[in-house]
Amino acid sequence: MTPLDSRRSGDSTPDFDLTARALAGAAGDPEAVDDFVRGTHRDVWRFVAYLTDVQSADDLTQETYLRAWTALPRFTGASSVRTWLLSIARRTVVDRYRAAAARPRTAAVDDWVEVAERRQDITRPGFEEGLALDDLFGALHPARREAFVLTQVLDFGYAEAAVIAGCPIGTVRSRVARARSDLIALLREADGAGHDCAEPRPAAHRKAG
């Protein structure tokens, strides 16, 4: 499974319904718990998969929900419950890599953002499907990728994305714009490389150096 295997339409339950189900679940309704998880799981999984990798996504998603149930009594409704949940998911990812950075390591890693650049395992099932786009997203700067995924893949508004990312709306807009420019440049570069491989130019026409 790749982050691009599904679309936001799979998590189409309105946010006010999800909020009601989450509160009912916290009060002890097991069916409400199932409804809330079904209504948000795909968004959470895809978000943490983009920030980290697909191998870590299941574990981080589970940890996100454990934290969410602990924090739910403090949920005020100032933002949608989906926005609130992805904010928890983001903090879960940050905490995981800060903890990893504090342990002895064999490679120099400055922070979780650099660790988040790890690539997917090419041996996993279904790797070919969606690979090209996954690779393009993986080449983006992590902060730009996060903003782009939130607004263009998961369909969050800029205000919601700003809450999740913990930055001003203007910063989100700037990161999305730069991500678009980066993706266009990467696509052109890939297209040019394809043409170069298909039709190599004669050596005599190439400039030295």
In the chain, domain spans: 3-205
Architecture of the domain defined by 3-205: Orthogonal Bundle (1.10)
pLDDT at 178: 94
pLDDT at 112: 39
pLDDT at 132: 54
pLDDT tens by residue, 83-139: 999 999 999 998 887 776 666 554 444 443 444 444 344 334 443 334 456 677 778
Structure tokens at 185: 């440049």
pLDDT at 171: 97
pLDDT at 200: 47
Q: Which residues of the chain have pLDDT under 50?
A: 4, 6-10, 106-131, 198-209
- Give the side-chain half-sphere CA count within 13 A for 120: 27
Confidence (pTM) = 0.67
pLDDT at 11: 53
pLDDT at 104: 58
pLDDT at 207: 46
Rounded CA separation 64/204 (Å): 59
DSSP labels, 51-66: HS-HHHHHHHHHHHHH
